[in-house]
Structure 1
Amino acid sequence: MTRGNSKKPDSPVRNFTPSLRNTKHLIIATDKVPVYHEQGREPISIEKQILITIWYLANKDSHREIADRFNITGSSVTRTKARVVNAITSLMNEFITWPTGPRLHLIQEKFHEINGFPGVVGAIDGTHISIAPPKNHKASYLNRKKYHSLVLQIYHREIDEKIDIDCEFIQAVVDHQMGFTDIYVGWPGSVHDARVYANSKINLRSAELFPIQGHLIGDGAYPLSKTMLTPYRDNGHLSPQQRNYNKKHSSTRVVVERAFGLLKVKWRRLHHLEMSSVDSMCQVIAASCVLHNFVLVEDGPEDIPEAEEDGVDDNNGLADDVNSTGHNKRDYIAGLLV
């Protein structure tokens, strides 16, 4: 196929929503994307570099296909997306923030309106991102479903002044509107959710981050505690009160699974990352999460197509329920939900 022959450079632009086209103003303001001069060709404007990168993130096209679509070389695609992705991740502390003050109270109220579950600051979970096997430590990235992956868990990182993206596991906390309130990208796919959470700042600094009686809700892979409420383990002998608690816990927590589903629907590059650098993979994941939140802010949740649940069971075992304070708090809330 001759470059620019069958696919016009502006054809993808018509497929972008106004909110995605508006990202260029934010990215240009970072001053991290200069005009790119490709030898022997017309300079690639900042606006075009941004569109190329958004197209890359939103589709599964190869570098060659993207180069043909935008009438540039494959090497220019590589350099362009690296530069723009770096600019997008520099916006993390603006678009992915831990709730405080009135926003925190609003989130708790909105979660309560779903099914009466009190005190919820966010829903937490992790998801795997399929990747090409890294050159080093391949076995660490092999998850229990026998494919190589990074794990995304979302949690608070606003307390960090410096953007420092570790990469291998994606953990996430979301609000009632599927917005990420923080992300943690940095553990291999073989690592258990509970271990990732135990090493996260949201756990280590929970006393600073959670209001009195505030907590996250997570599935059985997480350890029960005062700031992490999990379902009762179903041993076949749960009481009606405990079953009711589990039902309302699940229907409230499902928002995080829908958030992951929406993330992967809109940013289809996350279906599989064919890259040699783990650091670059993490940057792409983080940039996609920033854009996810930007679109939610710009379009509003009511304007976004209904997102399916992630559809990936990432639990690799149940955590032990040994925290007495967590047990007492869960029992108390179970009583309130009757």
Structure 2
Amino acid sequence: MYFAERRNAGQRCAFVRFDDAERYDYIELIMEELRYGDMNRFRNSSSSNDEPSDDDQDALLLGLAAELILLHPEAERTIITYLKTIKKRVEIEEALAMALVMVSHSARQRVLAERFNRSTETINRNVREVLRGLCMFASQIIRPFDYDQDAVGAIDGTHIPACPPSGHQMAYTNRHGFQSQNLLAVCDFDMRFTYIYAGWEGSAHDARVLDDALSHPSDFPMAPEGKYYLVDAAYKNVPGFLPPYKNAARAGPEKILFNTRHSELRNVIERTFGVLKNRFKFLKGPVPNFYMTTQVNVVIACCALHNFLRLHQPGDAHFQLAEDGNVGLEHQQGGGELPHVQPLNASRAEVMAWKARRDAIATEMYGAQRRRRR
């Protein structure tokens, strides 16, 4: 059995072996203590601008194992139902804790085996099962939440380090020179993911990934008519997607102002990526030699946990740092323009009307600023 022994004023968790007959009772004790103890302590201290320590983050994620299992109805219908169909000698809470420690600290399986006093085969099998369960959970928690504004969210891509199979290294080598998978993400202005598309090779252009997401039947949340997503200059200016002006410095003050306001709103996706990677160190690499399917599942699982934390712990330290502007932003442009990549089938008249709408927004925005200065 694994018992959480307190160290350093009740912050560090170490697992000690006990008889198997006591396993379930002790796991319940651990999770109840973390759920009502460390989680509340972390919430009370999360208003600080200091970056959370590894001990605080460890307690938070192990407490999340209990909260995810015990409180969220979708978890009961997805993760628990899936894991209960598998004949397991490891309790569900413990298996989830293994996966959470791996993605939060980028812990290798030998480290997890020593910490949980399990074999590396047991660690590997349980982590993969939990990741598949979290991917099912992602389908319930990664979704659009509301469309109250004309701008319904932001779209961008980010590179997640990858360990590609032999013979595919060149395809996964991005323009920055390292091997990665290109993650396309859509988020709202509350830093919640509403859509993710993982698994594309790092050499793929952001616009190409979006084109593929829209070319096949998928659950991509298209913006309602008249509304749009904010995108960067790597994407086309077509209905539903609003990029900034190119070469705005030569075009006039209204377009400069538009680009400034556009950037201030669109950087929510950069801050969201920053929070995601700061919380889950696995996504910063280096990545173990997992199957690519497992690497993609890790990304999806981390995005699902990110949304869960945003919904149930919106004031934790990582989100507070992002809201205060103290989190490292992701600045990864998708590359140069690809004239042959058109993410939507739009007629020339529709494209021209959409450009005229962007011009009208820029003109109205500049006029409002001048009126306020008078």
Coarse TM-score class (shorter-chain normalised): 0.7 to 0.9
Please give the alpha-carbon distance, in whole angstroms, between the structure 1 residues aligned to 2:209 and 2:265.
23
Are residues 1:55 and 2:101 paired? Answer: yes
Q: Percent identity, aligned pairs only?
A: 27
CA deviation after TM superposition for structure 1 residue 120, in Å? 0.3
Q: Which deviations, in whole Å up to 9, do the C-alpha atoms of 1:122-178 show, x marking residues without a partner?
A: 1000000011232232211110011100011xxxxxxxxxxxxxxxxxx11111111
Aligned AA for 1:278? M
CA deviation after TM superposition for structure 1 residue 314, in Å? 3.5
Cα-Cα RMSD: 3.0
Which residue number in structure 1 is paired with residue 355 of structure 2? 327
Within the candidate set 313, 338, 345, 1:299 is matched to 313
Aligned AA for 2:157? G
Which residue number in structure 2 is paired with residue 143 of structure 1? 174
Aligned AA for 2:155? I
Are residues 1:65 and 2:111 paired? Answer: yes
Which residue number in structure 2 is paired with residue 104 of structure 1? 147
Are residues 1:263 and 2:276 paired? Answer: yes
1:1-338 aligned within 5 A: 8-9=14-15, 15-17=58-60, 18-25=63-70, 26=72, 27=75, 29-30=77-78, 31-34=81-84, 43-99=89-145, 103-105=146-148, 108=149, 119-152=150-183, 171-201=184-214, 209-234=222-247, 236-272=249-285, 273-301=287-315, 304-307=319-322, 308-320=327-339, 323-338=351-366
Normalising by structure 2, what TM-score?
A: 0.72
Aligned AA for 1:79? R
Distance 1:203 1:309, change over 3 A: farther
Specify the SS of the correspondent of 1:199: helix
Please give the alpha-carbon distance, in whole angstroms, between the structure 1 residues aligned to 2:257 and 2:200.
34
Specify the SS of the correspondent of 1:186: strand
CA contact (8 A) 1:36 1:44 kept: no
More helix by percentage: 2
Q: Which has the larger radius of gyration?
A: 2
CA deviation after TM superposition for structure 1 residue 259, in Å? 0.3
CA deviation after TM superposition for structure 1 residue 336, in Å? 2.0
Q: Which deviations, in whole Å up to 9, do the C-alpha atoms of 1:20-59 show, x marking residues without a partner?
A: 5311235454322249888xxxx42111111111111111
CA contact (8 A) 1:142 1:190 kept: yes
Distance 1:248 1:206, change over 3 A: farther
| Structure 2 portions without partners, runs of 5+ | 8-12, 17-29, 39-57, 343-347, 367-374
CA contact (8 A) 1:197 1:203 kept: no
Please give the alpha-carbon distance, in whole angstroms, between the structure 1 residues aligned to 2:180 and 2:247.
29
CA deviation after TM superposition for structure 1 residue 300, in Å? 1.8
Please give the alpha-carbon distance, in whole angstroms, between the structure 1 residues aligned to 2:237 and 2:134.
35
Specify the SS of the correspondent of 1:91: helix
Distance 1:283 1:71, change over 3 A: same
| Structure 1 portions without partners, runs of 5+ | 109-118, 153-170
Distance 1:302 1:269, change over 3 A: closer
Please give the alpha-carbon distance, in whole angstroms, between the structure 1 residues aligned to 2:233 and 2:209.
14
Distance 1:236 1:319, change over 3 A: farther
Q: Which deviations, in whole Å up to 9, do the C-alpha atoms of 1:65-86 show, x marking residues without a partner?
A: 1111111111111001000111
Which residue number in structure 2 is paired with residue 157 of structure 1? none
Normalising by structure 1, what TM-score?
A: 0.79
